[in-house]
Structure 1
Amino acid sequence: MRGNRKGGVVFDDLDASLAALLADAAALPEVRAADVSFAVPDKDFTPGQPTLDLFLHEVQENRALRDVTPILRPMPADGWQSEQPPLRVDCTYLVTAWSPKTGALRAAEEHRLLGRALLWLGRFPVLPDQYAQGTLRTPPQPYPLATSVAQTREGQSMGEFWTALGIAPRPAFSLTVTIAMQPFPETETFPALSAVQLRTGLIDEPELYGRVLDAQLDGVVGAAVTLVEANHTVASDGSGEFRFGAVPFGSYTLAVTSAGHPDTSRRIDYEYAAQAHDVILTGP
């Protein structure tokens, strides 16, 4: 069973990953030298040095990337592990630039810093692995951390947003990073496939057939298999297989007795597309 990733930890680690990206030695000098904040850019936010603020203001599942197919991974020893696919979550930051200067000098510095940040972040359609921090690195994300910059949803207006913060609108752009979050820590394990058995039949001569298997899925030889409604009993062969010919399609009960196993029965629907029906015995 794999541990569950806590949502808050993932967001903290995403903040740290973006801070590492902005501090990279290859970043533009203004970007690299700026302080990085993740605070709410409201009327009380007054940094004392040039600052890039990345405010995480929206977290939304990306429905276009939703997948319901279980993920299968080989186990180190033998077999397979199955788990539910993770949520794909869009984390959207509002990126603003802040300068301690006044008047035209402040506007010029903020515009320059914001533009340099957009150029730098726009280089990365995915967040490179070397910047991933914490739970985004260990265990590694199952999908690349896709990013998009300066995208605005149709009909979205920032006027109410700035009003709620109590400040005048500022130049800004959005940064969205898509991460995977796993709300389903439970996993299932399955044994490795050891053999493939091909069962054949004639299209114009259908038969009700199957195998009697023990708890280890090995064939049980000599089990008495009774088709209750037809009052017909056969014995399973050397591979545990049994067959009933000339049986009309319909619902039946298969009753099985075998030495060393409790008597077992199961209801089946025998149809043209469902002719094979196995019976698994428990015990001894």
Structure 2
Amino acid sequence: MLEDLDATLETLIQREFPADVPSSSTAVHISFETPFHGAISQKPALNFFLYDVQENLELRNVVGGWERQDNGRAVKQRPPARVDCSYLVTAWPQNDEDIQTEHQLLGELTRILLRFRRIPEVYWQDSLKDQPVQIRMVSLRPSNLNSFGEFWQAMGGRDGTRPKVVLHCTVTIAVDLELEASEAPLVGMVLGEKH
């Protein structure tokens, strides 16, 4: 499931990112590595580091719904859970000292992330193609990290990784819990009908 979300983001960015940035002869790679010095092998790159996965309690639906069957019974389907997947996004130019290209990459990515509040179905990959709800994307909001300084130090700041500009992106997907549906006879109270 999470690998399919990675593939969905990669497809979205590859198709939407301008072909002439940073130049028409240089392809921008998309990676999902832990962002420390030397981890990003193909550059220039945009790196999406998945650092947090949490259930979205605001979108939780505990009620579910009843579906009428042909056999005179109804089946209660439990709705999928909604899960927030949070990424820290960094840009990695070919030359680590090339701040201008790093900012150029981040600027173009910012336009894409702000353009899409929902990821269009055409970009959904593998298991995400069966999503019962839209895939929501919220970008450039505060992250769940307490300290970026501590984060970069944990990423090996003493070994050559300098702190980088970080974009924050949270994508909300539906997770099917694969629970058996409850079945009951059709009763007027259940379906809101009178006999």
Q: Per the shorter chain, which TM-score range?
A: 0.7 to 0.9
* Structure (1/2) with the larger helix percentage: 2
In 2, Cα distance between the equivalents of 1:127 and 1:66? 20
Per-residue deviation, 1:18: 0.5
- Compared CA separation, residues 75 and 23, structure 1 to 2 (3 A): farther
- State the match for 1:145 in structure 2: 135
Per-residue deviation, 1:76: 7.1
Q: How does 1:107-122 map to 2 (within 5 A)?
A: 107-122=99-114
Residues 47 and 98, structure 1, Cα contact 8 Å, conserved in 2: no
2:14 to 23, 32, 44: 23
- Write the deviation string for residues 221-244 of structure 1: whole angstroms up to 9, x where unpaired: xxxxxxxxxxxxxxxxxxxxxxxx
Bigger shift: residues 68-77 or 128-137: 68-77
Alignment RMSD, CA only?
2.5
1:98 to 92, 95, 108: 92
Q: In the alignment, is residue 174 of structure 1 matched against residue 194 of structure 2?
A: no
Task: Give the share of equivalent positions with the same residue, in percent.
Answer: 34
Per-residue deviation, 1:96: 0.5
In 1, Cα distance between the equivalents of 2:179 and 2:27? 40
Residues 47 and 100, structure 1, Cα contact 8 Å, conserved in 2: no
- State the match for 1:226 in structure 2: none
Aligned residue-pair number:
183
In 1, Cα distance between the equivalents of 2:2 and 2:70? 31
What TM-score do you get using the length of structure 1 for normalisation? 0.58
- State the match for 2:127 in structure 1: 135
In 2, Cα distance between the equivalents of 1:162 and 1:184? 38
In 2, Cα distance between the equivalents of 1:155 and 1:22? 24
Per-residue deviation, 1:155: 7.9
- Compared CA separation, residues 112 and 85, structure 1 to 2 (3 A): same
- Write the deviation string for residues 252-278 of structure 1: whole angstroms up to 9, x where unpaired: xxxxxxxxxxxxxxxxxxxxxxxxxxx
Structure 2, unaligned stretches of length 5 or more?
Answer: none
Q: In the alignment, is residue 85 of structure 1 matched against residue 79 of structure 2?
A: yes
Q: In the alignment, is residue 11 of structure 1 matched against residue 9 of structure 2?
A: no
- Write the deviation string for residues 66-113 of structure 1: whole angstroms up to 9, x where unpaired: 22102333447764331222221110011111012253xx21111100
Secondary structure in structure 2 of the residue aligned to 1:23: helix
- State the match for 1:160 in structure 2: 150
Where relative contact order (Cα < 8 A, 6+ residues apart) is larger, the structure is 2
Amino acid aligned to 2:77:
E
Q: Which has the larger radius of gyration?
A: 1
Residues 97 and 110, structure 1, Cα contact 8 Å, conserved in 2: yes
In 2, Cα distance between the equivalents of 1:134 and 1:169? 35
In 1, Cα distance between the equivalents of 2:56 and 2:143? 13
Per-residue deviation, 1:149: 0.6
Structure 1, unaligned stretches of length 5 or more?
Answer: 1-9, 198-284
**Over 4 Å off, 4+ runs:** 74-79, 191-195
2:116 to 124, 140, 157: 124
- Write the deviation string for residues 171-221 of structure 1: whole angstroms up to 9, x where unpaired: 110111001112342112345569833xxxxxxxxxxxxxxxxxxxxxxxx
What TM-score do you get using the length of structure 2 for normalisation? 0.83
- State the match for 1:65 in structure 2: 59
Secondary structure in structure 1 of the residue aligned to 2:58: helix
Per-residue deviation, 1:14: 0.3
Q: How does 1:246-265 map to 2 (within 5 A)?
A: none
- State the match for 1:196 in structure 2: 194
Residues 48 and 99, structure 1, Cα contact 8 Å, conserved in 2: no
Residues 33 and 40, structure 2, Cα contact 8 Å, conserved in 1: no
